[in-house]
Amino acid sequence: MSFEKIDRESEERKIGRNCILVYGYNAQELELIELCRQKSGIDEIVVISESEIHKTLGTLLEQEALNLANLPVAEAYTLIPTIIFSGTSHSELDRFIEASKKVTMQRPIFAGTTPHNLTWAFSALVEELIQEREEMKKMRAMKS
C-alpha cells in the first residue's frame, strides 16, 4: 500500500484503458455515476456483474463499456460497492470523487489498477481493500 502524495492537477493519464470498473450499483445509481464520469472526463464505465467477480481485473477491462440504453437488471451483490479507476489521470480521479460527493449514491471503495493487481480476481482485490480500510481505521483510532 502506497501513501505518497499525488499531484492532483496532473492531466497525465496512466497506461491502460481509460475507464472505471463499477460494481454494486443499481440502474439509477449507474446514471448518477455516468454524470460523474462525464464531469471528470473519464472515457467509459465498465459494469461488473455478480457473476463476474471472480474474473481478473485484466479480463474485466476487456469488456464492453456501459450502454445507458441497456442498463443492467438489478441483482443482489455479495461485496460492497466498488469503483476502480484504470488509465485515469490524477485530476480525472479527483474530479470524479468530488462529483460523486454531490450525488446520492452508496459510497464505494475507490481503488486504481496497477500492473500488480491486473492479475487479481476482482473479489480478491475488494477483500484486500476492505482489510486496508480496517487497518486505516485502526491507525486513525490510535492517533486520536
Residue 120 DSSP class: S
Is residue 11 one of the residues assigned to a domain? no
Identify whether 30 is part of a domain: yes
Range of the domain at 97: 19-143
Residues 106-132 pLDDT 10s: 889 999 999 999 999 999 999 999 999
Assigned domain for 95 exists = yes
pTM: 0.85
Angle 10-15-20 from CA coordinates, rounded to 5°: 80
pLDDT band at residue 47 using 50, 70 and 90 as cut-offs = very high
In a domain, 37, yes or no: yes
Cβ neighbours, 10 Å, residue 121? 17
Contacts of 66 (CB under 8 A, 6+ apart): 22, 30, 34, 44, 45, 46, 47
In the predicted model, is pLDDT for residue 8 greater than 70?
Answer: no
Is residue 109 within 8 A of residue 132, CB to CB? The reply is no
Evaluate whether residue 110 is within a structural domain.
yes
In this model, does residue 144 exceed pLDDT 90? no
Grid coordinates in use for 18?
481509460
